[in-house]
Amino acid sequence: FRRYLLMALTSCLFWNTFGLNAAMDSKPNILLFLADDLGIGDVGCYGNNTIRTPNIDSLAREGVKLTQHIAAAPLCTPSRAAFLTGRYPVRSGMASSNRYRALQWNAGSGGLPANETTFARLLQQQGYTTGLIGKWHQGVNCESFNDHCHHPLNHGFDYFYGMPFTLLNNCQENKPPELDVALQAKLWLYSQIIILAVFTITAGKLTGLISIRWKIITSFTLMGGLFFISWYSSYGFVQYWNCILMRNHDVTEQPMRLERTASLMLKEAVSFIKRNRHGPFLLFVSFLHVHTPLFTTAKFRGKSRHGLYGDNVEEMDWMVGKILDSLDKEGLKNHTFTYFASDHGGHLEAQDGSAQLGGWNGIYKGGKGMGGWEGGIRVPGVFRWPGVFPAGTVISEPTSLMDIYPTVVHLAGGILPQDRVIDGRNLVPLLQGRAQKSEHEFLFHYCGSYLHAVRWHQKDSGAIWKAHYVTPVFHPSGAGACYGKGICPCSGEGVTHQDPPLLFDLSRDPSEAKPLSADTEPLFDTVIRKIGRAIEEHRRTLTPVPEQLSLCNIVWKPWLQPCCGTFPFCWCDKEGDSTQSL
């Protein structure tokens, strides 16, 4: 009996190993979904029972769900730079030391540097056909309107269709402006003061109350006019300059028509899979959902229990389902590594009166823009690869969006760059169940270029220590967000420097509700010293690089503006009636 039992176990082990190896031997297709501003509490498989996300939930049931999946930054541009490169954004210059923490214009000169190597580039070298559908937000040009130095096609993607920028309220008619609202208000005020001064001086001259030469009045009027034109030529036409669609290097809609954008994105994703069904392919579906202005098609408006935001989430989930259906239709489900995540936490401050327009981050404190608090950086993370990853698995180990980089490079048979630090770790052993612990011992949580917090995974005890060195000042006090500011700052008067640091054990207090102290935690001093040494070692690995989000790089430069006509006459609609309902 023992011999037969041993033979059966050996046979089972052989076939399991053989099956896994057989699946791993051939290069899988890779399908990556990344939502924009989606909170971890917005998804059914993460505890939401009122917003319907059946397709994302199905991925989790059929695969692996991560419960401690961490973004490398709490805002779009730096988080996505880290995702694409496997490196903290401070290493590539995509972390800001000023208040502009994301790219502001298509016509800025900042963006993902050409010397950064994305996972798309490495997979391209391994014979993959690579495509990006949706949001880019990593820059376009450097020195001229068509050098495309930051463009997806210059970073390893064979095909691009989508927004080189990001959605804004400015992209939809009758919505309050979102881009640099405080600065625009000041510029309008200064312009009105100049106009009032011109009228006053002119009236004084005409009535003889003021003795001044007409030449001076004319000069002052011209200077005022130039001042107005200098700022209104950019901020007055945001919809034309930023809200555009591109196919590869060509602008196809300027401005874009939001009522058909979701249909276009879905059509492009399905078409890419069909064209490349013989593989291998990498398809990165970078959703415009669920960023404001939350434009949602009529089919989904008013259907959720959470207003426009819930409608938008449910539309995105439907799109995920349609794309997964296309995999099934082509017989590719079992040969495709599929991943779903969000670029950072939900935007708590996004409101319209009493209506909440941003996401929910579950039990976690904080949200978008907050580099330290969990709500800004802990995101959904779901993987599926039938026959390779065990279905219904839940992993609570610390992982990062940066881990996707070495993971997909490994699956493609590529080699990681040896000339730079890669901060991500290959997740395949963890996802397969061959490893029980994450390879991350420390994760560093930045807000812009400022280190706000550090996580220490003490593997021998199972503790997840997290020390906060800088925290945002909530407004109003105790509100949990920076209402009235749009987003919490990273530095200056809007933050508090914690000395000693706030310390939490996330394994016992994931909501970061009760900070520990030397009086309540015997290991307090030991943990703080250990994390302090890790920070010193981490900083020794950093090298100075040009800051891509400097004021010089993020300002609007008309000569860099993507344009489908002759600048400044930039408008077109090359899509026409090409959309069909899917």
Other CB atoms closer than 10 Å to residue 229's CB: what's the count? 11
For helices 307-329 and 261-275, give the axis angle rounded to 10 degrees: 20
- The three state secondary structure string of 449-462 is CEEEEEEEEECCCC
- Percent helix, strand, coil in the chain, to 5, is 35, 20, 45
Q: Which of 499, 29, 98 is nearest to 285 (CA)?
A: 29
DSSP 482: B
Structural contact between residues 126 and 413, judged by C-beta atoms closer than 8 angstroms: yes
C-alpha distances out from residue 113 to 86, 141, 285, Å? 14, 11, 22
Out of 12, 45, 69, 137, pick the active-site residue: 137
Q: Both tokens of residue 560?
A: 């860099």
Q: Which of 325, 234, 282 is nearest to 128 (CA)?
A: 282
Q: Which of 213, 227, 102 is nearest to 168 (CA)?
A: 102
Upper half-sphere CA count for residue 251 (Cβ side, 13 Å): 27
DSSP 311: H
Q: Both tokens of residue 537?
A: 């070692």
Dihedral (Cα; 47, 443, 468, 522), 10-degree rounding: 90
CA–CA distance, 348 with 313 (Å, rounded to integer): 15
Structural contact between residues 227 and 194, judged by C-beta atoms closer than 8 angstroms: yes
Q: Both tokens of residue 176?
A: 């309050």
Q: Residue holding tokens 């000169």?
A: 109
Q: How many helices (H) and strands (E) does the chain have?
A: 15, 18
Out of 45, 69, 76, 488, pick the active-site residue: 76
Residue 392 three-state SS: coil
Q: Both tokens of residue 416?
A: 């990681």
Structural contact between residues 177 and 169, judged by C-beta atoms closer than 8 angstroms: yes
Active site residue 76: yes
In DSSP notation, 423-473 reads -----HHHHHTS-SS-S-SEEEEEETTEEEEEEEEETTTTEEEEEEEEEE-
Q: Both tokens of residue 417?
A: 């760059």
Q: Which of 575, 486, 508, 528 is nearest to 75 (CA)?
A: 486
Residue 239 CB contacts under 8 Å (≥ 6 apart), including other chains: 170, 171, 255
Q: Which of 320, 370, 363, 317 is nearest to 345 (CA)?
A: 370
Cα angle 367, 370, 371; round to 5 = 125
Active site residue 137: yes
Strand-pairing partners, residue 442, are: 456
Structural contact between residues 89 and 448, judged by C-beta atoms closer than 8 angstroms: no
Q: Both tokens of residue 68?
A: 């401690």
Active-site residues: which are they? Answer: 76, 137
